[in-house]
Structures are given as structure tokens and as C-alpha cells.
Amino acid sequence: MPHRIKGFFTGNAIWILLIAFVAAIGFWPVLSGMYPLKWDAMDYYFPSRHLLSQYISEGNIPFWCPYQNLGYPMYADPQSGFWYPVSIVLASVSRYPLWMIGFEFVLHVAIAGWGMFYLVRRFRIKNGPAFLAAVAYMMCGVFVSNAQHLTWIISAAWLPVVVNAFILLLRHPVLRNALFFALAFFMMFSGGYPAFAFILVYLLLALWIVNIIRLFRNGTKDHFWQLIQYSALAILFFVLMSAFIFVSEYQVLSWMSRGEGTTLQMALFGPFSVESFISFLSPYSVALSDFSSLNTDLSMANANFGTFALLFFIAGIFVRKKHEISTIFWFGLVALTASVGSALPVREFFYYYLPALNLFRFPAVFRLFFIFGAVIVAALAANRFVFEKKQFPPALKILFIVSLIISAISLVLIRANNYLSLRQFISTDLFHFSLTSTLHQHLAIDLILLIIMLGLSVFLIIKNSKTIAVFRIILVFSSLQMIFSVRTNAPYTVYSEDVMFSEANVFVNQFPDSFPALSKSSVLQNEQLAPRQSPFWRNLNLFNRQVAADGFTPFKSAGFEHLQDSLPGFLQLIIKNPTAYFSRNIEKPEAIKISGKTFEDSSLVAADVPESINWKLDSSLWENKIIGIHFAPNRIEFEVSTNLAALLILQQNHHIGWKASIDGEPIEIKNVNFTEMGIVVPEGEHAVVFSFEPPMIRSVLLVSFISILLVFILWILLSIRKNQIK
């Protein structure tokens, strides 16, 4: 027993628990349920996952979401959570309550730390430096400033796991490692923001090419052919697991408004601006209520990974590196030049000449890869100095001393030129969102903490010869600084203080926990009557579960976006009707598009309809009725009656997955109002059914599910077998 206890404290387990502890303390206001996350996390990711849990609880596949922007194919939305096993599991074990998204966020922060820890250990670096890298990475500016972007957090969390698995495959090309890499990359690809996967492919390709060159130089042809074989096998596993994703995306490329990629102007939007470089030294300086001086969005302005990790990184630039770390290091530097957007031509070059890098906005995504490489180099340097040479080199001591002097001089200059009123600021605004605090106050707070920690570190480095003991104290300082950085920045970019978690939870719980029948109100009234409360904004009908034309998501129909941008008046006209309605007031779409033409009759429909029907027939005696007898997001049934042939409009975006029938007989769905669906209903009483099921999707979903299950089980069995052999 004593041997096991000693092994626990000297092995990896204690460090894994410490990483989880630091993550929990840093994001405690979220994890404890004190405050909800803010912005997109609450307004899009949570409602989508909450709705996903409703589908799963009723045994339905979330093919179609009818509730925002006149409906969209939820199965193909990369941000809905339907592709991602973790979200599926969390949505299956509960109705995805409000606290769950905070838990999912912090869980991925911890995954990032654990992944970085094991990646650094892969390079035979000791636990202490690996812990330094883990904390620096999982508490870095991306996890803090982009907390609202859950898919970004998921990508960043799995990045070190994927790279670790890939390096393991490069070193030991066997089936188990091919399975591990395929699984890890699938987790990142299925749950994350696609831009990170696109960029990562180039990093993996660079690592693969460098490794191949080394194999040729060393003359190890057997290893080369094994690597080719198992690399191809890993790609095959990944493709099979992702088959559902690939088919889903292919089916919506022509449907969605961004199916053809982005313009250069859009690709340069949201950089990690040059002004934001101050975040490397003072992350609190980019947490401002007025961030116009940063020349970028607040969520793109933070790249901090801790002062101590930064100092070790600078020293590590000049340390001899293994080829894998060297490749990651140089890739990170190039990524940093791309992250600044139009300030350098690198991002534009990538846009034009590298496949897939013209498909996304936000150059700031590249900054993650710089941070990723920097913390690995920092760990390498710490390991070299502390555990190999067992002394801090003069260059590192000078670096610490110079940093201390510069910090002290900066604080004096700020104090001399500005009235800081720090005592009042600390008592009222520190750790809270403030409309009145200034850049200089925030910078001064970071500098004071830095001077204290650097001062003590310099004293210990110079006076104490016990290098490992001093480094452990530096680990404590580094962790405390990262926690402090998170807690000061979090009210600005992580959670909302304007509403308590309990209040937001009461608001969410008032909505139906089922799929209610279609409202007889107009689509516009559905939007207007939906209850509203901060921090929720425009996707409230995902809670209210009535059809709406409102919504905040980049995933929407090209036809709907055409209405929003080019014919907003006509859009406002047609949503004055209920979700399903009859009309005989038909105009050619070309007539509707005439510039400057206005319309007042909400029954007007833009459609190309059969000329065999006399649509101009006197309709004064026209009688019609629509009764919704069944509603589910993937299937809507009506009983209708009309004494004249008429056009039945369903205010949902047209998609190849929709099918319609009248009295059990299939009927052609016409594209009406530039994006909606309509069918011609003959006179009489009829049963009308609209159903949504995209072609091939059930089959490829089954292929993906079986592949994921088999790959996971086989990897587990091979891992157990390897451990037994050991």
C-alpha cells in the first residue's frame, strides 16, 4: 500500500488531478453555476444542444429544425452537436439543462490540459514542465476570450491529443496507433470549428514529410512502408467514421448561403491585431468594455499563455530541439504571422494558394497554433535547464531580471502619467465587468502581480541553488497567475454577470419539453410573442418551439439570405401568414424582384405555377381550411379543404430532403417565395403530408456509427493487450 501511495504522487495521476483542479478553480463561477456563459454559448450552442436532447429523448433523429430562419437541416449543422459523440452522450443522459453547457465547457478545458500534459511527456519531458505547459495551454487566451465559441474550445481541447496520436503513429506505425489517431482526429473534426481541422492538416502534413525525409536519410525502408500502410489505414478509418459528416456537408453545399466559401474581405475579418499583442504580457489589458482601440473583436484579442511560460519559450528558442518540436515551433511562428490578418500578406497568400484555407473567417484562429508550439518549447526549455543541466543558465536569469525591471519601469510611468485610483478599483471592479475601468488600470494590476511574482522568482533563482525546488515554486506562481488572468478576464468574455444562473435557469424551464403543435399565429407573431431575457437573444424559438424567421446563425438557406438581404420588405410581408396557409394570389418571381416595387397583400406568393389553372378566377366565394393533425420537426400532417384549386405554402426552407404527398400520392414541391415550399392542392378535402428525410443519410449514419464503435472497441482491446504484455 505505501508503495502504491508513493507511486500515485510520483506518477502522472497527481498531475492529472492538479490540472483538473486548476481548470475548476479558474472557471469556478461557470462550473459552480454562479453565472451562465455568455453570447454565442447561450444564444446558439445551448439552445441547439437543448433541442438535440429533445429529439433524442423522443427517439427521433434531428434531421430538420423548423424553428429559426424558416428551418434548416440540423443534421448538417456542424455547430448543433449532432456530429459530436460527447454532445450526443451529454444530451442523451439528460435534457441538457443549463448547467450542462458550463460543464461541457470546463470539461474541454481539462481535456486540453490533459492532452497537452501527455503530448509534452511524449517528448520525454518531466512531469513538472509538462504541467507548466498544460496549465499555460488550457488557460490561454483562446480558452478565455473564445469561451462563447464552444466549437473553438472543442477544437483547441483535442488539438494536443491529435498531435500526440499522430507522433505516436509516426514513431510506431502499428494498428493500435492508427486507430488512436483516427479516433482523436474524428473527435476534433466532429465537434470542432472546421477551420482548426483545416489548419491542423497542414501541420500534420509537415510532420509527416519531415519524418519521411528522416526515414530516407536513415535508410529505414521497412519503417517507411509500414508508415505508408498504417497512415492510409488511419485515413480510411477516419473517412468511415466521418462518412455521415461528409455526405451531410455535400448535401447542403448548394443549399447554404456560405456553401461556396468566403470572400477575401470576410477571410480577413477578425484578426489577432497587432494592438492585441499586449495580451502576451498583460491579458487584462484586452478585457475592456470599449475595445475599439484593439482594432478587432474582443474575442479575438487574447493570446496570453502566462509570463513564466513566455520567458521559458523565449529562452527555448535557442535550445536544440527534436525534429518534431522544431516543426511545431516553426509552424507556430508562421501561424502567428497569418493570425494578424491584413497587417501582413501571409493570410491573403494562404487564402489564394492553400486549399481549404479560403473557407473560413477569423485569422485569429491561427494564434492557437502559435500558443500550442510556444508552450511545448517552454516545457522543453524548462526541462533542459531544471532537470538535465540542473541549473538556470545566465541568459534565463538575465531574461527574468530584465522583465522585472521593464515591468517596474512601466508601472512607474503609468502611475506618473495617469490617476489610477487602484484602491477603489480593486474594491469595486476587480474580478467584475466594468464600464468605467481603464486600460491603464488593467495594465497596472497585471504589472503589480507580475512584479511581485518575478521579484520573488529572481530572488530564489539567484539565492537558491536547489533548481528543482525553485522551479516548483515557479509552477505555483505560474498557475496562480493563469488563474488570476482567467478570473479577471472572464466577466468580459466568459460569463454574464448581468443575470444570475438561477434566473436564467427559471427562464429556460418555462418552455415546453416536447414538440408542441403548430401555432395558428403568424410566423411574425411567433417571434414577437416569444418570452425574452438576457443572456438569451435571437434564437428564442429554439426554446419556444414555434416556427420563426428570426435567428442568429451562419447556417442558413441561400434563398432565405437572399430574402433578408435583397427583399426584406417581401420577407416581412409573407411572415404575416401562419406557418401553413393557402393562396391564389400568385405573381412571377421576376415581378417581385422589380426594384422599388412594394406589396401590401400578405397573401401574395412568388411562384411559377401551372398555367392550366385559372388563378385569376373570382375568389370571393373561395373557402379553405387547414387543420394540423400531427407535427414533428421531420413530419407535418394536415387535413385541408378548398373549393378551388389553390397553392398550399409551408413556411419552411426548401431542401432536397423534403417530400410531399396528397392523399398518399407523391406530389411535386415547388420553390415559392424564393426559399419556401408550395404544392398545388386540387379542390376538395385532402390529407397532406410533408416529410423530411435526406437521401442516403440513414445508411451513412449507420456506417459511421458502426465504424466509430468498432474502431473504439478495437483500440481499447489492443491497448489492454499491450498493457498486459508490459
Whole-number Å distance between alpha carbons of 153 and 160: 12
The DSSP secondary-structure symbol of 39 reads T
Which residues, at least 6 apart from 8, have a Cβ–Cβ distance to it below 8 Å?
14
In this predicted structure, what is the pLDDT of residue 662? 98
User: Are the CB atoms for 61 and 701 separated by under 8 Å?
Assistant: yes
Residue type, 484: F
Alpha-carbon distance of 667 to 688, in angstroms, equals 10
Beta bridge partners of 659: 691
Query: In the structure grid, which three cell numbers stand for residue 271, read together?
Result: 484578426
Q: What is the pLDDT of residue 726?
A: 62
Question: Is the full-model pTM beyond 0.85?
Answer: yes
* Closest residue by Cα to residue 119 from 110, 130, 107, 105: 130
Query: Which positions ≥6 away from 249 have C-beta within 8 Å?
Result: 76, 78
At 365-378, the pLDDT tens digits run 999 999 999 999 99
- In this prediction, residue 464 carries a pLDDT of 80
- Residues near 468 by Cβ (< 8 Å), separated by ≥ 6? 128, 386, 387, 390
Q: Which of 582, 611, 553, 591 is nearest to 674 (CA)?
A: 591
Strands 605-606 and 586-587: parallel
Measuring CA to CA, which residue among 568, 549, 432, 421 is closest to residue 492? 432
Q: Cα-flanking dihedrals φ and ψ of residue 516, to 5°?
A: -70, 165
In whole angstroms, give the CA distance from residue 376 to residue 382: 10
Task: Give the separation between CA 629 and CA 310, rounded to whole angstroms.
Answer: 64
Interatomic CA distance for residues 190 and 193, integer angstroms = 9
Do the strands 646-650 and 676-681 form a parallel or antiparallel pair, or are they unpaired? antiparallel
Element (H, E) at 482: helix 467-493
Are 616 and 675 a contacting pair, CB within 8 Å? no
**pLDDT at residue 443, as a whole number:** 97
Per-residue DSSP letter, 495 = B
Specify the pLDDT at position 609. 85
Residue in the block written with cell 392523399: 663
- The answer for 551, left when phi > 0, alpha when psi is -120 to 50, beta otherwise, is left
- The β-bridge partners of 522 are 578
Exposure string (b/e) for 529-567, b if CB count within 10 Å is 16 or more? ebeeeebbebbbbbbbbbbbbbbebebbbbbbbebbeeb
Of 249, 200, 218, 212, the residue nearest 76 (C-alpha): 249
For the chain, residues with pLDDT lower than 70 are 1-10, 258-260, 595-597, 726
**Cβ distance 71 to 652 under 8 Å?**
yes
**Long-range contacts of the stretch 1-10 (C-beta < 8 A, 24+):** none
DSSP 140: S
350-362: b (≥16 Cβ within 10 Å) or e? bbeeeeebbbbbb
pLDDT tens digit sequence for 641-662: 999 999 999 999 999 999 999 9
Distances (CA, A) of 478 to 1, 132, 303, 472, 486: 33, 7, 16, 10, 12
